[in-house]
Chain A
Amino acid sequence: MPEIKVTPLGAGQDVGRSCVLVSIAGKNVMLDCGMHMGYNDDRRFPDFSYITQNGRLTDFLDCVIISHFHLDHCGALPYFSEMVGYDGPIYMTHPTKAICPILLEDYRKITVDKKGETNFFTSQMIKDCMKKVVAVHLHQTVQVDEELEIKAYYAGHVLGAAMFQIKVGCESVVYTGDYNMTPDRHLGAAWIDKCRPDLLITESTYATTIRDSKRCRERDFLKKVHETVERGGKVLIPVFALGRAQELCILLETFWERMNLKAPIYFSTGLTEKANHYYKLFITWTNQKIRKTFVQRNMFEFKHIKAFDRAFADNPGPMVVFATPGMLHAGQSLQIFRKWAGNEKNMVIMPGYCVQGTVGHKILSGQRKLEMEGRQILEVKMQVEYMSFSAHADAKGIMQLIRQAEPRNVLLVHGEAKKMEFLKQKIEQEFHVSCFMPANGETTTILTNPCIPVDISLGLLKRETAIGPLPDAKKPKLMHGTLLMKDNSFRLVSPEQALKELGLAEHQLRFTCRVHIQDPRKEHETVLRVYNHLKGILKDYSVQHLPDGSITVESILIQATAHSEDQGTKVLLVSWTYQDEELGSYLTSLLKKGLPQST
């Protein structure tokens, strides 16, 4: 049976470090190449030795696909392509290709410059890696080679995130990456057509959560910001250049407008231009509403949000500032943080995950005295809040996606083993498909039932459709023919044609059976008796008495001869072809019962 093999190298039953290997019809594809943000040693990279123990991976992989720019999906890419070695194509969407290198470089800076690591990829490696990237558009079928094709679908979640369909012949796998089934302020919801893949690989991080409604989160966020600003404090929101920042900007802008607030909101310079640039470039990736209003007014050109200048940080009075980088590990956001940390009227709101070692992580864990460069101690009196606005699919969303795509099997990644049992059962019960949840390094084999296309000869088709009931588009019709397999082609032809093509003769099989009947009369009288008898019983069949003394029932021949030794016994020869086996044996047993006395 043909099969698809899936091996997670990361995110098997574990969150972080997504990397899944798929083997489909002889092609090997790597899906995502993420970094585990919680580890500082080799455990942060997926274990590539699974693919091959030695040497470069180019020969073993047909392509690599990256779903989106989050580091736990692309963080290990430069390491993989430049340090382990891979020169084949790397596919991702256009926004991902544009934004990935920025985040990778940022991350490299923290790890190498701040933490002093040595075994890490360099800036040049990032550039070299990105040269191998082939960007794809949504719903564009990309031929990787003659047999392997891939197609990207919109996934929501972050700008440029995509779900990928990988197809070889008639076997296909869909990999979701991270996705979101509910639209938010600047991105739409994930969507896929009824592509009926053999396997759907989906993340299940949030499958066990019942999320607080977005309105409540937003309301609480706005409340906190408002309260701080009302009492004259300053709010710092460290963000990455792209991602949730835009969502929060739109939120604050709308709120400021509605409440007629006067306190200034600033967005780091450089950040605004870049973000605007990317969003304009990738406007098709945002949601419907933004695209519609973009013509009249650029959603990302805000009325209340202005460009920031370093000097503003010292201005008295309330304000809200969005500054990069997101984990408070360097740059402008850290500078501002240091200025404002000492005042308890101020507040810092962390909108996402912070890597260990960064100031962001430290203050979220509760540390209030931080050691800065030059042994300076910074006392943190400002309020520290955390607000996660990340967009992932919950159990309801996962079920929705499965309902849309109609896969034959489902594989769960990104969740903890014990916590996925319930979801597995839920999926199996509702959709009657098998659900798998392998651990890292564990290979799951999925059997597929590929359809094999066969050419049917016109003559055979016409002949078969003429027999029996009229063809019905909804019912399968059983046809008889001969399958000829030559090289890579399959043809279904009539038996006669097959014989002709192969130069074989058709053999006829004929059976003959002798039935003894006690009848002292002459042969031709016996024959008459037999004829009348059969005619009486077999009313639906054509029973004929031929001039040469034989009887035919359909195509079966019956002849009577006298027994050589005993004149009182007549021997009936019943002869039929293989095709009339049933009727022949019926007749034989009928005749064996003897003739009725009356005739």
Chain B
Amino acid sequence: YRDLHTFELQAPTRLIEWACGNRVCVAGYGQSDGNEILQLIPPPTLLTKETQGLCPERDFKVECGGFSERPVYSLKYVPDTSLLVTSGPPDSSLQVWQVSAEDSDVIKSVSTLAAENDTGQSWAKIATISARAPWVLHGSRLDRVQITEVESRKNVYTAASRGSEELSGLAFLDCNTLLLCCTIGQLCLADIRQPQSLVEAVSVPLAPCSEQWCMGTRHGAQGLEPSSQPVARLSSRGLLTLTDLRKTSEFLALAKARVPSPGSGAEFLCVSWAPALEGYLAISGFDGTVHVYDTQSWDSSGREAEPVFVHKGHAFGGAGGSRDLPQVTVHTWHLQKPRTLLSAASDGSLHVWDWVQPCGKC
């Protein structure tokens, strides 16, 4: 490690979202109400490019907070507005909140966006964009995907129904293109200018036992076509596939991560690309660790890949003697500092760490 900071949140979070001004947002996902949404200002050490060892301010500050009656499983800021959208069980509706950091430090609930044909079974995955207007893309199943305008609550687009598979993630590739990932693994592309088309991308290799998949997209450096960035998919068995969306019939690369027995659920599976480091991605959700991989050496053979770095802090952090080892619920990369990550675990810990490239690699 070059640096490691550990913090303890009052309640564990399963999301870490970046907001403008280098703010970070976390939220509770407990069953009882009174879950807090906290927008935090990271300590200056994390904001500067160089790491300073000793600094007067080393703490996260809660800039503002809100109370949610339901567990918060997903949260996305709506760009260019002071709003954010959250979703969580028991149904697929979305909650819209207003952040007004100058007037008061309370994040106020503004409205609820109900999903059409809400079956009340699962929670919606969300993505936001503010190209033509502040939009939120949401849905819990493949046949329930829609885009709603946040302020007017009007439905702008509904995806053609193709099947009722549950979704594990969705994203805007650009202001017209959507990418959807199902829990059984398939990727679908859609163009919102052509509501009827839903292109299916390559499926995943068949597996003997059912596994669940999630995806990670990369918001690449400016100037690059979003669809030229490979999409990573991670399965609950540790399989990783990289796909180029322009050539969806084959895999760019296939690898296997060394993970503990696939007994653990897929609830916290998370894969993400490093925004400032070409070809690096991180995975978590199997246990109390976060793995960092360099995908540039991968091929399509499906061999086991060696992680470049493994963060084990969460497994050691908590009070000694606890029966359940904490599980990492989410991780995210720092937007500017190339090797800095933030990770949170089920025991409420929040770590910020900066790993050092092991010797022998450039």
Check B356 for interface membership: any CB of A closer than 8 A: no
| Nearest CB of A to B233, in Å | 33
CA distance A306 to B40 in the complex (A): 44
With CB as the reference atom, state the residue of chain B lying closest to A347: B54
Are A212 and B58 in contact, with the CB atoms below 8 A? yes
With CB as the reference atom, state the residue of chain A lying closest to B11: A396
Stretch from B87-95, B99-107, B292-300 contacting the other chain: B99-107
CA distance A421 to B101 in the complex (A): 11
Are A210 and B5 in contact, with the CB atoms below 8 A? no
Check B355 for interface membership: any CB of A closer than 8 A: no
Check A462 for interface membership: any CB of B closer than 8 A: no
**Residues on the A chain within 8 Å of B4, using CB:** 216
CA distance A419 to B104 in the complex (A): 7
Check A455 for interface membership: any CB of B closer than 8 A: no
**Residues on the A chain within 8 Å of B102, using CB:** 418
Residues on A close to B: CB < 8 A? 208-213, 215-217, 220-221, 223-224, 349, 364, 385-388, 395-396, 399, 418-422, 425-426, 429-430
Q: Which of B7, B56, B61, B105 has the most CB of A within 10 A?
A: B105
Are B54 and A224 in contact, with the CB atoms below 8 A? yes
With CB as the reference atom, state the residue of chain B lying closest to A430: B34
**Residues on the A chain within 8 Å of B56, using CB:** 364, 386, 388
Q: Which of A210, A385, A387, A425 has the most CB of B within 10 A?
A: A210
Q: Is the interface of A mostly helix, strand, loop or mixed?
A: helix
| Nearest CB of A to B154, in Å | 32
* Residues of B1-34 contacting chain A, CB below 8 A: 4-10, 34
CA distance A223 to B5 in the complex (A): 14
Stretch from B62-70, B156-164, B249-257 contacting the other chain: B62-70
Are A209 and B59 in contact, with the CB atoms below 8 A? yes
Known: A209-B61, A421-B106. 15 other contacts (CB 8 A): A209-B59, A212-B7, A212-B43, A216-B5, A216-B6, A220-B54, A224-B53, A386-B56, A388-B56, A418-B105, A419-B105, A420-B105, A422-B64, A425-B67, A426-B36
Are A213 and B64 in contact, with the CB atoms below 8 A? no
With CB as the reference atom, state the residue of chain A lying closest to B53: A220
**Residues on the B chain within 8 Å of A386, using CB:** 54-56
**Residues on the B chain within 8 Å of A396, using CB:** 8, 10
Count: A-B pairs, CB below 8 Å = 81
CA distance A213 to B5 in the complex (A): 7
Counting from the closest, the 7 A-B pairs by CB-CB distance are A210-B60, A385-B54, A422-B65, A209-B59, A208-B62, A212-B58, A213-B6
Q: Among A210, A399, A420, which residue has its beta carbon within 8 angstroms of that of B9?
A: A210
| Nearest CB of B to A20, in Å | 23
Q: Which of B6, B10, B59, B66 has the most CB of A within 10 A?
A: B59
Are A210 and B40 in contact, with the CB atoms below 8 A? yes
Are B58 and A217 in contact, with the CB atoms below 8 A? yes
CA distance A422 to B67 in the complex (A): 9
**Residues on the A chain within 8 Å of B53, using CB:** 220, 223-224, 385
With CB as the reference atom, state the residue of chain A lying closest to B60: A210
Q: Which of A220, A349, A388, A421 has the most CB of B within 10 A?
A: A220
Given A421-B105, A425-B106: A212 in contact with B59 (beta carbons within 8 A): yes
Report 14 cross-chain contacts, Cβ distance below 8 Å, ordered by A residue. Answer: A208-B62, A210-B7, A210-B350, A212-B6, A216-B6, A223-B53, A349-B54, A364-B56, A386-B54, A386-B55, A387-B54, A421-B104, A422-B66, A425-B106
| Nearest CB of A to B51, in Å | 10
Q: Among B6, B34, B104, B105, which residue has its beta carbon within 8 angstroms of that of A215?
A: B6
CA distance A429 to B68 in the complex (A): 12
Are B8 and A210 in contact, with the CB atoms below 8 A? yes
| Nearest CB of B to A153, in Å | 24
Q: Among B5, B36, B60, B106, which residue has its beta carbon within 8 angstroms of that of A209?
A: B60
With CB as the reference atom, state the residue of chain B lying closest to A416: B105
With CB as the reference atom, state the residue of chain A lying closest to B102: A418
CA distance A396 to B8 in the complex (A): 10
CA distance A395 to B105 in the complex (A): 14
CA distance A269 to B65 in the complex (A): 49
CA distance A421 to B105 in the complex (A): 6
| Nearest CB of A to B40, in Å | 7
**Residues on the B chain within 8 Å of A209, using CB:** 59-62
| Nearest CB of A to B110, in Å | 16
**Residues on the A chain within 8 Å of B64, using CB:** 422
CA distance A143 to B4 in the complex (A): 52
With CB as the reference atom, state the residue of chain A lying closest to B9: A210
CA distance A379 to B179 in the complex (A): 60
| Nearest CB of A to B34, in Å | 6
**0/1 interface trace, chain B 340-356, chain A, CB 8 Å (1 if under):** 00000000001000000
**Residues on the A chain within 8 Å of B55, using CB:** 386
CA distance A210 to B350 in the complex (A): 10
Q: Among A215, A385, A429, which residue has its beta carbon within 8 angstroms of that of B67?
A: A429
With CB as the reference atom, state the residue of chain A lying closest to B56: A386
CA distance A155 to B195 in the complex (A): 65
Q: Among B7, B40, B62, B65, which residue has its beta carbon within 8 angstroms of that of A213?
A: B7
| Nearest CB of A to B20, in Å | 19
With CB as the reference atom, state the residue of chain A lying closest to B52: A385
**Residues on the B chain within 8 Å of A399, using CB:** 10
Q: Among A210, A223, A419, which residue has its beta carbon within 8 angstroms of that of B59?
A: A210
**Residues on the B chain within 8 Å of A385, using CB:** 53-54
Are A418 and B103 in contact, with the CB atoms below 8 A? yes
Are B10 and A395 in contact, with the CB atoms below 8 A? yes
Are A210 and B62 in contact, with the CB atoms below 8 A? yes
Are B105 and A221 in contact, with the CB atoms below 8 A? no
CA distance A300 to B294 in the complex (A): 51
Are A418 and B104 in contact, with the CB atoms below 8 A? yes
Are A429 and B6 in contact, with the CB atoms below 8 A? no
**0/1 interface trace, chain B 283-318, chain A, CB 8 Å (1 if under):** 000000000000000000000000000000000000
**Residues on the A chain within 8 Å of B104, using CB:** 418, 421
CA distance A41 to B59 in the complex (A): 32
CA distance A221 to B55 in the complex (A): 10
Are A429 and B62 in contact, with the CB atoms below 8 A? no
CA distance A209 to B36 in the complex (A): 15
Given A386-B54, A386-B55: A213 in contact with B8 (beta carbons within 8 A): yes
CA distance A221 to B54 in the complex (A): 7
CA distance A224 to B55 in the complex (A): 12
| Nearest CB of B to A426, in Å | 7
Q: Which of A209, A217, A388, A399 has the most CB of B within 10 A?
A: A209
With CB as the reference atom, state the residue of chain A lying closest to B107: A422
CA distance A216 to B53 in the complex (A): 10
CA distance A331 to B104 in the complex (A): 45
| Nearest CB of A to B234, in Å | 29
CA distance A544 to B71 in the complex (A): 70
| Nearest CB of B to A104, in Å | 26
Are B106 and A422 in contact, with the CB atoms below 8 A? yes
CA distance A418 to B5 in the complex (A): 28
**Residues on the A chain within 8 Å of B10, using CB:** 395-396, 399
With CB as the reference atom, state the residue of chain A lying closest to B33: A429
